[in-house]
Amino acid sequence: MVQCPRGTRDFLPDQLEKRRAYEGTLRSVARRFGFREIQTPIFEDAELFILRSGPNVLKELYAFKDKGDRDLALRPEMTAAVVRAFVNGMSNDPKPIKVFYFGQCFRYERPQAGRYREFFQFGAEIMGAATPETDAEAIAMAAFMIKSLGLKNYKMRIGHIGVLRQRIADIGVPKERTAEVLQKLDKKLYDEARPILKDMGVKDEDMDALFQLTETVGGTEVLSMVPGEAGDYLREVVDYLSRMGVNDVEIDLGVVRGLDYYTGMVFEAEAPVLGAEKQICGGGSYTLSELFGGEKVFSTGFAVGFDRILLAMEKEGIVYEREGIDAYVVAVSDEVRKDSFGIVAKLREAGVSADIDIMGRKLGKAMKSASTVCARYAVIVGAGELSRNAVTLRDMKSGEQCEVPIAELADRIRN
Ligand code: HAM
């Protein structure tokens, strides 16, 4: 049997209905925050990602040549593409530009629970200014999204990559090797970072101070330990957040992020229930537009790992109730079978979701089908009622039924 490729999944109707419903929840939050949707291609010139995505993403890239010998790649994330679209077509629009997106991304990773080669992100970007308000707005929306889906147990950590970058530069790490060091700090692999830093001539005490910085975790009180203006900046972000009712955040200078483009505030949300692959959302502030030929524009964004947050919800016991349909039309006998098609057509025209047996089933089996498709009502069409221009309407939950004139049927079902 041919299977779908490793790390990809089919979404059968039961799952897809649930996914669409939750996607709808996120969409409605984004609109409530004043964001508008954007869509970009699933593949791009490979260069777009090579320019500034960092070593992690590059080794995971699905890159290929097309028949015209162009170097292309499936998108591993969407921020770079959104910024490219901004440079190409939105750079003169009034700022700030607030966009959101939903779609699949591709990374050649080792698949495991919560980690796929094709996965979905729901993300947002704000392009305009490097202000604490911008960062707070992005974090607040991410928190609102997680809450709207009903997830209870999660942790939001806010850091500042600028502080780490500055410290790394100060202790003598060459600029082109910063990403290498950050990659180790991201995973807290201090033992692996040591020989690399030593090789660059970094002193032991400077290394220790750097590692200690990434262990700075706590409430706003730890911001006094944050050097330079970054501490004041993060204090402002947290202040705005608390005024927006987002208080359950933690300062953590160990938030490094796997992507290379961040410059300032960075944040992540995790759901501990997921174990190893617990990061459900990540983002931060960056500038990318100047790399793609545009003017430098400060931006902040984030992406929710849609598959992961759904897994976390499932593990927390959040159950999705299948929506079902309004009505299922059942013919009592073959004699009225064709008339019942006239009735289902009228219901559909009136905006009622309605289905009908097309398998030539007898009454009992057709009623079972009505349950299978989770119909709220069965519309039972019999010769006697039909002669009075009526049908029997049966509430599938209570079992109550009554005769209803066909002319009133759609209204009765809708109300
Ligand atoms: P990221 O942290 O690489 O950030 O990905 C965002 C989220 O996508 C992760 O937190 C995780 O939940 C999910 N994710 C990543 N890889 C996989 C995978 N293989 N399988 C399942 N889920 C995965 C970004 O992509 C940035 N573009 C976010 C951003 C937007 N920053 C600024 N704007």
Q: Which of 26, 23, 71 is nearest to 49 (CA)?
A: 71
- Give the pTM: 0.94
> Ligand 1 centroid to 119 CA: how many Å?
9
> Ligand 1 centroid to 352 CA: how many Å?
39
8 Å CB contact between 388 and 340: no
pLDDT of residue 85: 97
pLDDT of residue 258: 77
Query: If you write DSSP's letter for every residue of 3-26 in order, what string do you get?
Result: -PPTT-----HHHHHHHHHHHHHH
- Ligand 1 atom index nearest CA of 304: 7
Q: Which of 380, 375, 379 is nearest to 333 (CA)?
A: 380
In angstroms, the Cα distances linking 17 to 21, 22, 76, 348 are 6, 9, 25, 20
pLDDT band, residue 297 (cuts 50/70/90): very high
Across-strand partners of 375?
325
In angstroms, the Cα distances linking 225 to 13, 23, 188, 204, 402 are 52, 40, 20, 20, 73
pLDDT of residue 224: 85
Per the prediction, the chain carries an average pLDDT of 95
> Ligand 1 centroid to 142 CA: how many Å?
13
Cβ < 6 Å from ligand 1: which residues? Answer: 77, 79, 107, 109, 115-116, 119, 121, 123, 125, 258-259, 279-284, 301-303, 305, 307-308
pLDDT of residue 106: 97
Q: Supply the Cα-derived Rg of the chain in whole angstroms.
A: 28
Least confident of 85-94, 216-225, 351-360: 216-225
pLDDT band, residue 388 (cuts 50/70/90): very high
pLDDT of residue 57: 67
For a substitution probing ligand 1, which of 38, 83, 182, 259 has the most ligand atoms within 8 Å of its CB? 259
For residues 139-168, give the mean pLDDT.
96
- In angstroms, how far is CA 375 from the centroid of its own chain? 30
For a substitution probing ligand 1, which of 19, 82, 121 has the most ligand atoms within 8 Å of its CB? 121
Calculate helix-pair angle for 178-186, 190-199, nearest 10 degrees: 160
How many CB atoms neighbour CB 9 within 10 A?
Answer: 14
pLDDT of residue 50: 84
Tokens of residue 55, six digits? 């070593």
**Beta strand segments in 248-341, E:** 249-252, 262-270, 279-286, 299-305, 325-331
